[in-house]
Amino acid sequence: MTQTDLPLPLYQHIASHTIQQLEPAWLQLEKGSERIIQVGGAWQYYCQQMPQAGQQASDVFDVLIAMLPISESFELPQVQLQDGKYTDIFGLCEPHHDWLLFCDVTQNTLNIQQYHQISNDFILLKAQMKQTLHRYIGHEVSERIAQGEMQLDAAGERKTIATLFVDIRGFTPFNERHDAQMVMQTLNDYMNGMLPAILQHHGMVDKIMGDGVMAVFGVLPSENHCCLDAFHSAKQIIQAIYTLNQHRLSSGLEQLGIGVGIASGEAVLGILGSHERRAFTAIGRHVNLAARLESNARVGEILIDKTVHQTLGQSHAFTAVTLTLKGIGQSDVFSRILPCIHGDD
Amino acid sequence: MIQKKICILGAAGVGKTSLTAQFVYSKFSEKYLSTMGVKIDKKVVTVDDTSVNLMIWDIHGEDKYKKITNSYLRGSAGILTVIDGTRAETIQTAYEILERVHRDIGKIPNIFLLNKHDLSDAWDINEQALAELKKYGNPIYTTSAKTGEHVDSSFQKLTKMLIKP
């Protein structure tokens, strides 16, 4: 619609209403220069001292520095002024003169800002949540959850999984001998070795208990059998700790060893907890077995149950052993020891 | 005195306004307030005995639905492209903005600021992403608007690039 399509009284009404809202103020400039020729409008709204003919426009308004002379028409939307007001600034290139027009858009901008604020807060919150998920279940899966391609269901799904426990040997006496800050740093170093090895093999960190970690395999999608993922993860964890111990040895620090237990079986997966605090967990008989295996494992030892051994087959050089496990009794399990501490290998 | 206009660009929430506030007023606020349009500040920076009046255009964050208006960039001598070091996805926005700047106003001096370095535990920029960023051949600073880390030095560096190309 153009001006001529509207009956004159309506056009005049709209123009009057709009002009009243916009509080326009303008400068007429010498063509190709920033020298002010004429001044008009509600300048008191935009600055304390009214611009004068003969002044340079950018001397009056800092915002115009580097914007003048006007070589082509432009629009600067929502320029924030010192007193918190917002103005749209138009630079108009005409044949004989150039023009600068200021229009107040404070109310409209503040209204839109509320929506922007909510939207940007949401973006930041979503990024924080994604990062938290990323730490527990790895980048790939957290991305899929964020995109809505996958969800962790609280319904209590039954699934065959492998559960891995890993723990630092002799950590309690180490803890007693050293300052708490040093213990915290050591733990962080160990976790930096352990956790990526779990995430890279599609494991999910279920719990971190001081110096110990419980991880489950088979919950997150993987091309491999959950027992194979858990075993590869265990090997990589021990290798990472072996490398870390090398650094500690060269820095004159005490080496620490780890032991691993893996068992497999059916578990119920789900979200456990109250409405205020919930955590994903796996519950099954084999979980307790895996914990017992880990507590019996020596430095660098991976102990696995029969189910895991059957799945892995004979090619992984495990030795059959019989152990008496607390609360379980005599059990036939399988052992493999890998180098973990320098000097023992 | 020499006057130069610079623009602070980047995705929403990366810390453009906080960096500007730290540089101009030595202030930091934990409260996040979304910038609308553009806010212009100025500060005199002295580089090797030359004083430069920097006009700093803190421009609203770019997102999928709100692109930066080209006219904001008019007359700009240099830019600081800010990335949130705790959100690797903001690198992509930085690339998109920079490519548009190159297309619309040409290759002007640029510095990448990897901001929020005080949040080291949440740092999300890996070696590969950093290597990609280095391919642009622009200086890269890790900054913290909160602690002031590398804030003054990055503005100083850009000013130096403007007057001694």
Question: Using one digit for the tens of pLDDT, what is the confidence trace for A88-121?
Answer: 999 999 999 999 999 999 999 999 888 888 888 8
Count the alpha carbons within 13 Å of A206 in the hemisphere toward its beta carbon.
Answer: 23
Which positions in chain A touch B4 (Cβ < 8 Å)? 66
Name the 3-class secondary structure at A246: helix
Per-residue pLDDT tens over the stretch B124-141: 899 999 999 999 999 999
Helix/strand/coil percent split, chain A, to 5: 40, 30, 30
pLDDT confidence bin for A341, thresholds 50/70/90:
confident
Residue partners of B3: CB distance under 8 A and separation at least 6: A65, A66, B52, B53, B55
Tokens of A6: 């509207």
Which chain A residue's Cα is nearest to B43?
A62
Which positions in chain B touch A123 (Cβ < 8 Å)? 12-13, 63
Q: Which residue has the tokens 């939207």?
A: A119
> Is A297's pLDDT higher than 80?
yes
Distance CA(B51)–CA(B45), nearest Å, equals 6
Per-residue pLDDT averaged across A40-60, rounded?
91
Give burial (CB, 10 Å; 0-12/13-18/19+) of B137: exposed
Contact criterion met (CB < 8 Å) for A65 and B32: no
Tokens of A5: 């399509």
What's B55's DSSP letter?
A: E
Distance CA(A214)–CA(A194), nearest Å, equals 11
**ipTM of the complex in this document:** 0.91
Determine the distance in angstroms separating the CA of B88 from the nearest CA of chain A, rounded to an integer.
10
Tokens of A103: 């229009």
Longest dimension (CA), chain B: 44
Per-residue pLDDT averaged across A252-268, rounded?
93
Q: What is the pLDDT of residue B32?
A: 87
Contact criterion met (CB < 8 Å) for B77 and A66: yes
Which positions in chain A touch B88 (Cβ < 8 Å)? none
Q: What are phi and psi of A270, to 5 degrees?
A: 180, 180
Cβ contacts of B37-45, under 8 Å, gap ≥ 24: B37/A77, B37/A78, B37/A79, B37/A80, B37/A86, B37/A109, B38/A76, B38/A78, B38/A79, B38/A80, B38/B72, B39/A80, B40/A62, B40/A63, B40/A79, B40/A80, B42/A62, B43/B155, B44/B1, B45/B155, B45/B156, B45/B159
pLDDT confidence bin for A220, thresholds 50/70/90:
confident
Q: What are phi and psi of A236, to 5 degrees?
A: -70, -35
Distance CA(A262)–CA(A95), nearest Å, equals 83
Which residues from B are below 8 Å from A when comparing CB atoms? 3-5, 12-13, 32-34, 36-40, 42, 55, 60-61, 63, 66, 69, 71-72, 74-77, 86-87, 89, 122, 124
Distance CA(A82)–CA(A85), nearest Å, equals 7
The CATH number of A3-104, from 3.40.50.800, 3.40.50.300, 3.30.450.20, 3.40.50.150, is: 3.30.450.20
Residue partners of A119: CB distance under 8 A and separation at least 6: B63
pLDDT confidence bin for A137, thresholds 50/70/90:
low
Contact criterion met (CB < 8 Å) for A67 and B74: yes
Distance CA(A207)–CA(A282), nearest Å, equals 10
Q: Which residue has the tokens 């749209």?
A: A88
Tokens of A89: 């600034």
Tokens of B101: 């700047």
Average pLDDT of chain B to the nearest whole number: 94
> Is A143's pLDDT higher than 80?
no
The CATH number of B2-163, from 3.30.300.20, 3.90.660.10, 3.90.1150.10, 3.40.50.300, is: 3.40.50.300
Distance CA(A300)–CA(A338), nearest Å, equals 5
- For domain A153-337, give the CATH superfamily: Nucleotide cyclase, GGDEF domain (3.30.70.1230)
Contact criterion met (CB < 8 Å) for A63 and B61: no
Determine the distance in angstroms separating the CA of B126 from the nearest CA of chain A, rounded to an integer.
13
Domain segments of chain A as ranges: 3-104, 108-151, 153-337
Q: What is the pLDDT of residue A136?
A: 67
Contact criterion met (CB < 8 Å) for A76 and B71: yes
Per-residue pLDDT tens over the stretch A148-189: 666 665 556 788 999 999 999 888 888 888 888 888 888 888
Distance CA(A79)–CA(A81), nearest Å, equals 6
Q: What is the pLDDT of residue B8?
A: 98
Per-residue pLDDT averaged across B138-157, rounded?
97
